[in-house]
């Protein structure tokens, strides 16, 4: 049996003061996290194997998560003990943090896709770039699908990357 893994890191580290309690609860449940030894006011979010997006919550956690959902314009979840989030919702949480932060203007969620056997579908990666204005993602699978017609023309490949990535990476030109 093949075991698939998707280790993930979030950069930069996030100042603890920028994260509200309900956001902190959700991020701490989805990601592993550590206080940074060299900057004890910052937290480093990561996942050694994969993100924990399917959560079973305790009653008090439900109160906090439902409060966060309502604050973000989402419907409350009632009558279940589990909830599943997707990366786009987690990106919106980081976007809220960025909008009020004095020091963080961009967050990147970077994921590597690996497996313990040599399988063609077991390797790759992706990135979600989050700013106050936008959330953009790019993956090796998207790259392959979009660029297949251009593989024999390296200059068009470079031009595509330049135009596709630049809007995601620039922060004030919109």
The pLDDT score that the predictor gives to residue 10 is 97
Q: Check: CB of residue 155 under 8 Å from CB of residue 134.
A: no
State residue 170's pLDDT score: 35
pLDDT at 104 over 80: yes
pLDDT tens digits, 145-162:
665 555 554 433 344 333
Contacts 24+ apart (CB under 8 A), 84-87: 84/53, 84/54, 84/55, 85/26, 85/30, 85/53, 85/55, 86/53, 87/51, 87/53, 87/128, 87/137
Indicate if the pLDDT at residue 143 is higher than 70. no
What share of the chain has pLDDT > 90, as a percent?
Answer: 61
pLDDT digits (tens, 9 = 90+) for 13-48: 999 999 999 999 999 999 999 999 999 999 999 999
Least confident of 76-90, 91-105, 122-136, 143-157: 143-157
Prediction pTM value: 0.79
Q: How confident is the model at residue 135 (pLDDT cuts 50, 70, 90)?
A: very high
Residue 168 pLDDT grade (very low, low, confident, very high; cuts 50, 70, 90): very low
């Amino acid at each position: 049996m093949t075991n698939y893994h998707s280790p993930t890191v979030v950069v930069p580290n996030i100042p603890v003061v920028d994260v509200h309690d309900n956001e902190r609860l959700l991020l701490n449940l989805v990601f592993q996290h550590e206080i940074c030894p060299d900057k004890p006011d910052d937290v480093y979010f990561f996942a050694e194997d994969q993100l924990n997006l399917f959560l079973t919550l305790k009653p008090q956690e439900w109160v906090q998560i439902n409060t966060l959902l309502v604050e973000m314009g989402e419907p409350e979840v009632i009558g279940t003990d589990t909830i599943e989030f997707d990366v786009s919702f987690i990106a919106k949480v980081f976007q809220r943090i960025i909008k009020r932060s004095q020091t963080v203007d961009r967050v990147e969620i970077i994921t590597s896709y690996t497996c313990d056997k040599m399988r063609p579908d077991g390797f790759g990666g992706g990135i979600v770039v989050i700013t106050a204005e936008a959330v953009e993602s790019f993956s090796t699978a998207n790259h392959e699908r979009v660029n297949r017609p251009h593989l024999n023309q390296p200059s068009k490949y470079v031009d595509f990357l330049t135009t596709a990535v630049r809007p995601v990476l620039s922060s004030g030109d919109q």
